[in-house]
A and B are shown apart, each in its own frame.
Chain A
């Protein structure tokens, strides 16, 4: 039983990562046969060994933690801002109408286009990066919260009201638990965008972070470091996304078959 479970997990793991494994194999084979341009494309083994070595250094971890620190701080800030605004906009159609146009106006503005402005306003360092992460992460979260609130089952609200629930109780006992899956999906989308934008921002104006590390590697022509930086970003992205997917799946277990 246990053996068949492990085998089936292994099978699904292999199948789910089929393309990645094929590409890695091709890369490995190209390096082995000497088909790659060694100047621009180091072998996979070289990249893996270099990444492993880099992960032993404090400096590299400093870059990783710097990027993660900005992502999670900006993300936390966006959560704090999006939660109340989303609940209000989802609950009151007039507030939704009043704020919707403003949000639609700022929504398509490219955060990277605004980044120089943020640097002028806040200088090079933590603050402009925090603002840019906030900028990209709060809107997906906000829209998910609004949709979640608007889709709360009317029967739950009616039931709570007939039991004499106050507005505060309805918010705490009905709306917040009901929108939890929406919040988690919003978080997953937001954090994905944050990861994309932070690397770009660190390349434009920053003195730390994975983006800065990658740019620095290209300026100093340490191509293997460049690949290691990209690999680490990919791994961070996969880990964060997997965590949110796992969380979403577990939340949906108790929301199974229920329209929220």
Chain B
């Protein structure tokens, strides 16, 4: 479990200090898919970067992230390295961990086979569609056996159909592996469909949690529960 306690963070904007978080608390359970929902500029990505250890914070304690090396990060723009082909991109995290080239390429190939994408192993990122590039980014994190995944609006630039396919891929992979995910999205349907729990962040500074929703048992996009949560979630901002 990851526990964030009394987190404080401020930015200097045009010489003025803006307090993003003050005494912010959050818990993320093992194997949980936590969705962070909120309007632009409320601090969702900042929170994700703080959890991922790529952004500093002024005060607070983050417990449970004792092994930062098992964290995967997927952003809105694919972060596949353009000078590496798909196979080497998937194996990249393993390379950083010092895994032998033969072993890491074998593991990457196994993952590609599992996802049915083995034909793309020699492709370069610019030859892939946006959706495929995001799947490869996801595979790269899985190759490293990342047990904790940070996803910053990973599907926001994709069309409706591809987005749905990728959502199902994530849900399928979660069934097979032990994986905690913090997922940022603007899309209420995506939040409810994917999330075990949703936290709705406030638009005002310092950012706080407006409301929490448990969506672990909502798997049907047409169900009454789905629409009920959707209404309540949107009502937080109207």
Contacts and interface: CB of A to CB of B under 8 A. Distances in A.
Contacts of A155: 75, 77, 79
A165 B96 contact: yes
Interface stretch (A20-28, A119-127, A235-243, A251-259): A251-259
Interface in B38-69: 49, 52-54, 68-69
Interface string B88-117: 000011011100000000000000000000
B124 A254 contact: yes
The majority secondary structure among interface residues of chain B is mixed
B227 to A, nearest CB: 35
A212 B124 CA distance: 49
Nearest to B137: A159
A17 interface: no
Contacts of B69: 163-164
A210 B187 CA distance: 68
A162 interface: yes
Nearest to B85: A254
B37 interface: no
B73 A162 contact: yes
Candidate in A161, A164, A256 with the most chain B CB atoms within 10 angstroms? A164
A54 to B, nearest CB: 44
B82 A158 contact: no
A158 B93 CA distance: 12
Interface string A175-197: 00110100000000000000000
B3 interface: no
B136 to A, nearest CB: 12
Given A173-B96, A258-B125, A162 B52 contact: yes
A72 B54 CA distance: 41
A163 B98 CA distance: 12
B126 A257 contact: yes
B202 to A, nearest CB: 25
Given A163-B69, A164-B68, A164-B96, A158 B79 contact: yes
B96 A162 contact: no
Contacts of B144: 163
Contacts of B124: 254
Interface in A95-149: none
Contact of A158 (B75, B81, B125): B75
Given A158-B75, A162-B54, A164-B68, A254 B150 contact: no
Interface of A: 153, 155-156, 158-165, 169, 173-174, 177-178, 180, 254-258, 260
